[in-house]
Structure 1
Amino acid sequence: MKCAVVGASGFVGSAVVARLSADGLEVVRVSAPRLAWSGADSADILLQTELLPVADLLAHAIAGADVVVNAAGLASPDAGGETSLLGANALLPAVIARACERAGVRRLVHISSAAVQGRRQRLDESASVEPFSSYSRSKALGEEALRVRQPDPAARLDIVILRATSVQGPGRATTRKLQRIAASVLSSVAGPGQRPTPVTSVLGLAELVSALATFPGTVSTTVLQPAEGLTTSEVLELAGGRPPRHLPEWLCRGALGLGFGLSRLAGSRFHGALRRLEVMWFGQDQVLGWAAAHGVAVRGNVREVLTRR
């Protein structure tokens, strides 16, 4: 099987390439084009005109691939709504889908983010989204562009939207920041600290991508990355080397309510940081989902990642 990875040199892309290669797939590394969102209501409208040459170039780069993985995009939870963020996360997925159709690819695995479902208590695999920041809105637009696009009736493209959770990995800035917080006086959880958390590893994500790429049957349109079994207290204790402080739940909820209220007055400027604090205190539950229903085991190594210095 031949698999093309768009964005192969990035944090997620490099891990996906390594996993696919280890699993015996022929891997083609493809650089992601840089696109700018022009403000149109639909990515598909843009694809009718000026972006068709970009799709043609991508089609040439992925020619002969059975599966394409879109690991490109900007992972910037605190970013504003600049055109580069929307271009990479909202427009590029639709361009890649068009290129896949032209190249005769049978499956596209688009790596999205569970952030599209926002602050809901339980993540699921529905099309329902509740974005809360510029970053999560850009990822939600990318999913929408794939869902509402007009497919080529002659193509046989199977699109899978993979929602990655809070992915950690060696050398990642987000992971280093988590380790610094966990080792500081700010390390804390709400209540007993036994709530489930979506903190996972990039290895676990890459394992799931490989399973989706090689799965012989039909795959759900949306697949959620499985949790790796940590609680809010365990995440901080592993990352910081000591147990976190336990704060009253009412105090944490009150602080978050005030923080989000002030952030809204500032144009949602601090929503990303507040959301990370909310997940640190309260975690986030999720359904077992497609992977569990189909016996797809994702081991990951989040414990090792968090304790590595």
Structure 2
Amino acid sequence: MQFGDSTPWLKEHGFAKKRPAELLKDEKFFRQLPNAAFPESDLWNFSRVMKDWGWSAADIAWSATAAAGRGPLLHYVRFRDSTDIGVVKKSLISHGYKEHGDKLVGPSLGSVADPLTAQIVASLGHTVRFYSDKHLMAGSTMDTLPELPDASKSLGAAAGIRAVVAPITTADYVRISAGADACIMPLRASARTLKQLDSIDRFTASATAVVSDSKSTATVAYSSSDAAAKDLPHRKAFVKGLSLRTREPYNRLARFTLKRRDSTIRYTIDAEPRVVTQMLQNQDAPWAMCKQPKKTSSN
């Protein structure tokens, strides 16, 4: 899951009191926006060109994307309290969405003549549902859209998730991974590249948070305190090595400080926000990598 919250960033940079329409006319805002971490929603790429939609990403308070394994990608958008959800819904219908019960189903991207509109539709999701009482819009890349998860299915029910999220008090951006896909693998990794990860143990969950323009944190949780203690020196050595993607020293991209607490290892990362998010997107984040799982066979 990736979660972007504009509120702390807007406050820190003096934009919190501006209305969406004012933000869209503020050149200072757009100069600083590319270095922010919160706009993980692709809709921020279209803020200035959604003039006929009646709303834009500037109306978004926070957004999240989530996926389980190879399942559908889910989008969640929480609008500002001042945003008229009726306007948002009508804008989708005017751009090709059709009402099917309590859901809206988007057009096939191939049938959308305007390339820009097609990109926005792809960012919103093929199937969309509004929860007006929550000021929330949920979207899915598939034809079906699951209900909002209840508390019993929350990620927070897992001890590993609680351990990695606990150090985060406020953040512009958070990425949480757990389960079999908790560790990322380098893009286009060769057997030789993956061999470099053999000394890095696997963990059960991880959370990366962009705290400010110069500081981020990452926490990884292990099955035991002994496993974390054993892996700490290997992880310290790994961040002193070369990027598995660019072969540039990791310490030129960011400065890492590692500390263990019980069954977790916490990274303090001194770097610009976009460096942290790009390392995750490029699957070259040293804190999020570990050795490949052992192959198993069964009758």
TM > 0.5 between the two?
A: no
Q: State TM-score, norm by structure 1.
A: 0.29
The structure that is strand-richer by fraction is 2
Task: Point out which structure has higher relative CO (alpha carbons under 8 A, 6+ apart).
Answer: 1
Structure of greater Rg = 2
Q: State TM-score, norm by structure 2.
A: 0.29
The structure that is helix-richer by fraction is 1
